[in-house]
Structures are given as structure tokens and as C-alpha cells.
Amino acid sequence: MRRLFLFITCLFALFIGAALLGLLAATPPAALVASLASPEIRFAVLLSLATSLVSTAICIALAVPIAYALDRYRFAGKRAATLVLTLPLALPPLVAGIALLLFFGTTPWGKALEQAGLAVVFTPLGIVVAEVFVNLPYLIRILRSAFSGVNPRFENVAKTLGCTDAGAFLQVTLPLARPALVAGGIITWSKAMGEFGAVLMLAGATPMRTETLPIALFLNISTGDLNLAVAAATILILISLATLCAVDLVDRGVNVF
């Protein structure tokens, strides 16, 4: 049994490693370096960084109170709210993108935003909206599990010592849930950097305007420019690797910030 399990583990580890190494070796090093320095890839990197950081900050700001409310409070419609808030996790990103496209492109609410100067469809703002819609449910689940692991008695003790509800949350519960918040935030950012389906549907694939790294990969592989496609893929692989290392440090109790 032990040998079988170890064999399966090693086999699939080698398969994944070989596939990724094959991707990196598909382009000569000189061509890869030149592609990484191209204006298109630089634009895609900067846009991906900007939109992913903004969307991650929004996800954290929304996920903390939502996850705490779902874990600690009882209210009418809690089950329905939980179902709706986690539904995007089970949706294909393309379906989520189409839903957002119709909402912001055909409804009075979307048209009102556009008239107010906040156009979402086929704009960089749409990238942020799509990333928040897809990634927020994931972060809510992570933080809800973290808050459920914090004994409410700690909050009650803090309140008996003079803390308000907000003070007990900020000084007791949130610090105890900090490792999960940091790890969840890192993974949420990484997922935002790699989001493709929902972003493609809502923000489109306009070069040098809504061209994130996954969009750049898609556009260049579609036009046969393998070097630029591999360059975008290489950056995404490095981001994923750095994310896994950071999360591993958090799991081992190392302060990454």
C-alpha cells in the first residue's frame, strides 16, 4: 500500500513538473527574454498587478464582515444568503462573465453607472468587477472557517474587560484569524492575476487596453505568436510558485509581512 501511494504521488509530481518544464523550454532563452521586455507584456503585467491588487483589497474589505456575520449571527434567510454568496464558486467563469455582461450592459443599473462615468463593460473597471465577483466567495469561505475556529469566549472575556463589540473583534478575533486572512489574501490575489473567463466576457480582449496576462496569453497563442504567449505563461507560473511559497510560510507560522 505504501509503495503504491508513493508511486502515484511521484508519478503525478513528475508529470506536472515535466509539463511545466516543457512549457518553459518551448522558446529559446533569448527570444523569451526579448518577449518579456516587449511593450505588450509590460502593459499586461502592470494592468494585471493594478487590477488584481485593487480587487483583492475589495475582496478583503467585503469578505471580513460577511464571513463574520455568516459565522456568528443568526438571521432570517441565512441559508439562502450563504447559498447565493458561494454560488459563484460552482459556476464556470464564463457563465459568471456572461451574467455580469448582461447585468452591466442591459439593466438600468448598468446604464446608470455608464452615464455616471463608471462604464464597466469592456473597460479596466470591468476587470476588477469580474475578479471580485469570482474570488470573493472563495475568500468568504476561508475567513468563515477561520472565524469559526476562534472561540467566542475570547470575545466575551474582552467585553467583560471593557471592550466594545467592535473592539473585541478588532483586538481579539481578527488577530487570531490573521494567518487565514493573510494566506487567503495571497491566494485571492494570485487567482485574480490568473482570472481569464469572467474577465474575457465582461472586459473583452482589447490589446493594450484590457489586456491582462491571461488575455495576452490567449491573444498571442490565437495569432500564433508563441514567444509572447510563453512569456505571459512564464510570468503566471512564477507568480503561482511565489504564491505557494508565501502560503507555505504562513502555514508554518512565519511572518511574511
- The pLDDT tens digits of the residues spanning 12-48 come to 999 998 988 888 777 777 777 888 889 999 999 999 9
Residue 140 lies in a domain: yes
Please check the confidence at residue 254 and state whether its pLDDT lies above 60.
Answer: no
**Tally of domains within the chain:** 1
| Residues contacting 139, CB < 8 A, separation 6+ | 59, 60, 63, 67, 184, 185, 188
Residue 4 lies in a domain: no
Domain extent, residue 105, equals 49-210
**What pLDDT, on a 0 to 100 scale, did the predictor assign at position 182?**
92
Residue 128 lies in a domain: yes
Residue 233 lies in a domain: no
Mean pLDDT over 118-131 rounds to 94
CATH code of residue 175? 1.10.3720.10
Please check the confidence at residue 125 and state whether its pLDDT lies above 80.
Answer: yes
Residue 194: burial class (beta carbons within 10 Å; 0-12, 13-18, 19+): buried
pTM above 0.95, yes or no: no
**What pLDDT, on a 0 to 100 scale, did the predictor assign at position 248?**
82
Residue 169 lies in a domain: yes
Residue 216 lies in a domain: no
Look up cell 455580469; give the residue. Answer: 100
